[in-house]
Structure 1
Amino acid sequence: MHITITGASGFVGQNLSVYLKHKNHSVHELSLRGNDWQSNLDKNSEAIIHLAGKAHDTENTSEEKAYFEINRDLTIALFQEFLRSDSRDFFYFSSVKAVADTADDIIDENIKPNPLTPYGQSKFEAENYLLAQQLPEGKRLFIIRPCMIHGPGNKGNLNLLYKIVEKGIPWPLSAFENNRSFLSIDNLSYLIHEMLLNKEVISGVYNFADDQSLSTNQLIVAMNKALDRKAKFLSIPKGLIEKVAKCGDVINFPLNSERLKKLTESYVVSNQKIKTALNIKQLPLSAEEGIIKTIKSFKTGG
């Protein structure tokens, strides 16, 4: 199968390209930088996987318009080229942040959208445009909403926790119970490949996540397991931790209310829709196996 991938130089793009090549597919890497990218588009590709985009800036230093120009407008331009091409499938990598920055309940594809950041809003506006278009017969549109992706070569948001575990510091927030969804790059690549092969999967929005969610305490245990250590926990009352965090709101302290929330809040994403569509019971890697594989790569610098 001939497949075009945008954003192929990024973490997901590199891993997905290698995975698809190992499955004997040919991959055409398309850069969307510059104004002449249309001339480099392989219109004979059977699928276009659109990964390129402006990632969420946690430091909030980016101009808002940049998110919309890249995540929305560039996606629209590429999709219009797809409609004029012979390509069968268009994969748009959106994000669960396009619909929910926080979540009290499990996030599925029917959640009422409420993006709060320019990143999430730009992704959601791109989704709206794509879903409003009339697809010619024989073409499919897949909007993929992954949760936090990790894997060898990409520490991402796991890096902060890893540094604590690596130094042997006991985890001080064990009194807090939460659950979060993660997505290993191996499971992501597997799902994309299965969707490419399965012509029965219909167009639509699909969440990507590992099968199990993990509490932060379980995450600490998995990280220590990857480092061949026993996890260390401090039993500090929640009330005391919350008071310390409030002090951090006023003075320069490593822990404040916002950071505490990020470390202890729940964010669970359902992957049942895509598993049902593909008629699979479980993904290749469990959530814990994926975390251990990623952490072991940190040790070796992979």
Structure 2
Amino acid sequence: MTRVLVTGGTGFIGAALVDKMNGDARFDVSASVRAGRTLSGVHTHQIPDLNAETSWLPALEGVDVVVHTAARVHVMHDSSTDPLTEFRKVNVEGTLNLARQAARSGVQRFVFLSSIKVNGEGTQPGRPYKPDDLPDPKDYYGISKMEAEIALRELAELEQMEVVIIRPVLVYGPGVKANFLSMIRWLNRGVPLPLGSIHNKRSLVCLDNLINMIITCIEHPSAANQVFLVSDGEDLSTTQLLVRISKALNKPSRLIPVPSRILELFAALLGKRDFSRRLCGSLQVDIAKNRELLNWTPQVSVDQALSKTVKNFLEQDK
């Protein structure tokens, strides 16, 4: 049995991972949570802060693998006067502090949940990101994740601990928040949207497929000291995604075919270039390495995942 510590045990990804592993006889899972929070069914460690001073030794005792999902996440409207420093305190210094203590505690493998933002913010048609592409982060969150990756790889060269880096694209599933949840709400209310003529291509990954990939990277010998991108294996335009969500909702998709260049122009006038880029731009990833090295393919289709996501939304929206 492999003893696994999951950090960020109450987060969107961490909670799903803990729940999946908790009933699996292959694993003895524990989780770290923020001070004052609890997680039923598994042994938890309350960690007050994630920074260079945090003591992880009690939580690391006897642990074989750490899956590090805790992070300072991307903030849409960051009010900090020095956001890069704040991201670095948690995502770089906090991560490296944990990894060093893990190595000294005898942890065999450290699985780090990074972000596709390390690669960049968008791709050209037919040129998906690959794991060995030169990093090109554009925001503070992406920069901090890149710096954490570099520090972890350097640590792996000095210690006996293996490091695995996973860069997910946009993650969706039951309990999803932010823009994805807003899209579901708009479509469920029948709001007409000027998004019926967007011909981009974007990779997504559902929570089930990401969790399956993480568990594969916990166990598979060939995952050691590798970087992986992860997606559902089917890229969709924004228009196609909205149509598929509407189908899962059993609602008509009221999409007005406004050309994307006009949407981008209006977004620029309103100071919403980043939002426009996410709606109209492409971001694709190549997951061939996962198949070739790990024999991993997505287990859940996009339509199955959207159906599960929408079902949860409707249950919570009652």
TM-score normalized by the length of structure 1: 0.89
Deviation of 1:227 after TM superposition, in Å, equals 1.0
CA distance in 1 between partners of 2:133 and 2:148 (Å): 17
1:267 matches 2:283: yes
1:283 matches 2:308: no
Question: SS in structure 2 opposite 1:173?
Answer: coil
Which moved further from structure 2: 174-183 or 257-266?
Answer: 257-266
On the 8 A contact 1:115/1:124 being kept in 2, the answer is yes
% same residue: 26
On the 8 A contact 1:184/1:290 being kept in 2, the answer is yes
Q: Return the match for 1:154 from 176, 180, 204.
A: 176
Equivalent residue pairs, number: 294
On the 8 A contact 2:164/2:225 being kept in 1, the answer is yes
Deviation of 1:241 after TM superposition, in Å, equals 4.0
Residue equivalent to 1:10: 11
CA distance in 1 between partners of 2:14 and 2:264 (Å): 40
Residue equivalent to 1:299: 314
Q: Return the match for 1:223 from 245, 248, 260.
A: 245
Residue equivalent to 1:21: 22
Residue equivalent to 2:42: none
Deviation of 1:212 after TM superposition, in Å, equals 0.9
Unaligned runs of 5+ in 1: 250-255
The Cα offsets for residues 193-247 of structure 1, whole Å up to 9 and x where unpaired, read as: 2222322333211112111111111111111111112323223345554554455
Higher RCO structure (Cα 8 Å, ≥6 apart): 1
Question: SS in structure 2 opposite 1:37?
Answer: coil
Q: Return the letter of the residue paired with 1:285.
A: V
Deviation of 1:258 after TM superposition, in Å, equals 4.3
On the 8 A contact 1:222/1:292 being kept in 2, the answer is no
Moved over 6 A (4+): none
Unaligned runs of 5+ in 2: 33-45
Residue equivalent to 2:64: 46
Cα–Cα, structure 1 residues 200 and 117, in superposed 2: closer, same or farther, change >3 Å?
closer
Cα–Cα, structure 1 residues 109 and 166, in superposed 2: closer, same or farther, change >3 Å?
same
Question: SS in structure 2 opposite 1:15?
Answer: helix
Which moved further from structure 2: 210-219 or 128-137?
Answer: 128-137
Question: SS in structure 2 opposite 1:41?
Answer: helix
Calculate the aligned-residue CA RMSD, in Å: 2.1
Q: Return the letter of the residue paired with 2:15.
A: Q
1:102 matches 2:122: yes
Q: Return the match for 2:146 from 116, 124, 131.
A: 124
Deviation of 1:93 after TM superposition, in Å, equals 1.1
